[in-house]
Amino acid sequence: MSRWNFIRFFIVLLSIIIINIINIPNTRSEVIEINKDEITLIRKAFEPYRDVTEGMYREVKNQKIKLEQEHYDNIYKGSGRKVAYLTFDDGPTPNITTQILDILMTEKIEATFFIIGKNAKQYPDIIKRINKEGHLLGNHSYSHSYKNIYQNTDIYIEELIKTEEVINDILQTEYDLTLTRFPGGMFGSRPAFIKAINEAGYTYIDWNALNGDSEGKVLPKEHLVNRLINSSRGKEVLVILMHDAGGKITTVEALPEIMEYLKAEGYVFLRLDQPYSIKENSDYIIRENNSDRRII
Ligand SMILES: [Zn+2]
């Protein structure tokens, strides 16, 4: 059994357990409407097991986070295929994110957007569009203010939760906003933050290639294309850092050329939560429909 088949099997097994756990309160609330006496009896019957089910829920969630973090930690090891994960940080913004979405749609490519909570709150329709068009949303803190978020782990996690609440509110669902990216990147610094977010139910990823669009105000398109070519040379798996903050006009301009280059080099494009084998094993689908993406 290959590694991913094993993980798939494990995730399916965990999902079945969770669905069963989730179904218990649902069944109970339906009974409430029918017969109050009956529900009182059911409640009493369930009471002794409440801690057990909550404990199981936590345990399953911890296992899920552990597996997902392993996936992100090992992502650069690859599996003999050239994969490019396009990622866009600091949006959504009305002028830049929408243009990037148009380009991705034309090319039928899915990407990952690490959004800032306060921007999401300001532009809910763009969040809806990102989700509807099949891209993955990631959490990039609420304020992106280094001096605030890195004061201590509690403040950082509060920002992740706040952003998650904004996304759930916009999408009217419990979106699984587990994947995060630390503003400025982490690269092994601040180990206490890494430990804290994993324990709080979040995973994280940095990057290993970039277009350099945050290395100056508005850098020429050619500079961004060359930076991407140089930073990706010789790498089988690319997690590419780009930005869809307002003003990143040349990021939009450079994107078609960057994608052309990567395609010519033989890369396939995936969302960060998709394993490399996804294109080979067509039966492997993490989610067929965005609305199915729920926290377990
Ligand atoms: Zn950022």
Q: How far apart are CA 16 and CA 20, in angstroms?
A: 6
Catalytic residue among 89, 90, 213, 244: 89
Q: Where in the sequence is the domain holding 12, given as residue range(s)? A: 3-73
Same domain? 158 vs 179: yes
Same domain? 143 vs 228: yes
The yes-or-no verdict on residue 169 having pLDDT over 60 is: yes
Cα(89) to centroid(ligand 1), Å: 5
| Domain end marker among 73, 99, 118 | 73
Of 255, 210, 217, 254, nearest to 233 by C-alpha is: 210
Same domain? 84 vs 64: no
DSSP 219: -
Same domain? 191 vs 57: no
Ramachandran category for residue 187: left, alpha or beta (phi over 0 → left; psi -120 to 50 → alpha): left
Catalytic residue among 135, 140, 144, 243: 243
Same domain? 170 vs 244: yes
Asked if 243 is an active-site residue, the reply is yes
Of 60, 58, 61, 49, nearest to 25 by C-alpha is: 49
pLDDT in tens, 34-77: 566 776 777 777 777 777 778 888 888 899 999 999 999 999 99
The yes-or-no verdict on residue 163 having pLDDT over 90 is: yes
Specify the CATH number for the domain of residue 200: 3.20.20.370
Q: How far apart are CA 17 and CA 27, in angstroms?
A: 16
Same domain? 179 vs 58: no
Cα(182) to centroid(ligand 1), Å: 7
Of 188, 173, 178, nearest to 139 by C-alpha is: 178
| Domain end marker among 49, 73, 97 | 73
Cα(214) to centroid(ligand 1), Å: 9
Same domain? 195 vs 268: yes
Q: Where are the beta strands (DSSP E) in 92-223?
A: 112-115, 136-139, 179-180, 203-204, 209-210
pLDDT in tens, 226-235: 999 999 999 9
Same domain? 51 vs 147: no
* Beta-bridge partners for 121: none
Same domain? 152 vs 21: no
Cα(207) to centroid(ligand 1), Å: 12
pLDDT in tens, 240-253: 999 999 999 999 99
The yes-or-no verdict on residue 150 having pLDDT over 90 is: yes
Same domain? 87 vs 54: no
Q: How far apart are CA 110 and CA 93, in angstroms?
A: 18
Same domain? 69 vs 188: no
The number of folded domains in the chain is: 2
Predicted structure pTM score = 0.79
| Domain end marker among 54, 73, 92 | 73
pLDDT in tens, 4-41: 655 666 666 666 666 665 555 444 444 445 566 776 77
C-alpha distances (whole Å) from 13 to each of 10, 58, 77, 293 are 5, 15, 26, 16
C-alpha distances (whole Å) from 18 to each of 6, 8, 45 are 18, 15, 20
* Beta-bridge partners for 138: 114
Same domain? 138 vs 250: yes
Cα(68) to centroid(ligand 1), Å: 22
